[in-house]
């Protein structure tokens, strides 16, 4: 299986449990890996046969900024479900980093891997 990935996709959004987090946007960074077969796209040089990382990025940004959630866990589960449903991949790994969450840490975050149900 081949892999299409997006590294350090930056999105500013409202996210967090605490009241002060709901008052201003915070930066999130997404690393997304999607397993797929790139052979048809490679053989034809046809973007319509490719897993389009630009469209995936646009969808992640759109969803992340549309309706705030409190937990990174909620957000990554939602995004994994969207990517599996809307794009030609059978498995997605999403890692989201929230650098401002813990002052003593460079970043914190959540990583999940989800597969399409057979």
Backbone angles phi, psi at 22, to 5 degrees: -90, 0
Q: Which of 3, 55, 67, 98 is catalytic?
A: 98
- Residue 25 annotated among the catalytic residues of the structure: no
Q: Cα(70)–Cα(104) distance, rounded to whole angstroms?
A: 21
What are the Cα distances from residue 84, in Å, to 27, 94, 104, 108, 110? 24, 12, 35, 25, 18
Beta bridge partners of 69: 15
Q: Cα(9)–Cα(32) distance, rounded to whole angstroms?
A: 9
Active site residue ranges: 98
């Amino acid at each position: 299986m081949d892999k299409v990935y997006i590294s350090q996709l930056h999105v500013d959004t409202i996210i967090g449990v605490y009241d002060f987090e709901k008052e201003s946007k915070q930066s999130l960074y997404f690393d997304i890996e999607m397993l797929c077969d790139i052979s048809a796209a490679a053989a034809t040089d046809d973007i319509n046969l490719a897993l389009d990382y630009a469209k995936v990025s646009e969808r992640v940004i759109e969803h992340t900024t549309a309706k705030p959630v409190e937990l990174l866990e909620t957000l990554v589960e939602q995004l994994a479900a969207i990517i599996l449903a809307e794009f030609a991949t059978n498995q997605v790994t999403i890692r989201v980093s929230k650098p401002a969450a813990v002052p003593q840490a460079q970043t914190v975050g959540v990583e999940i891997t989800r597969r399409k149900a057979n």
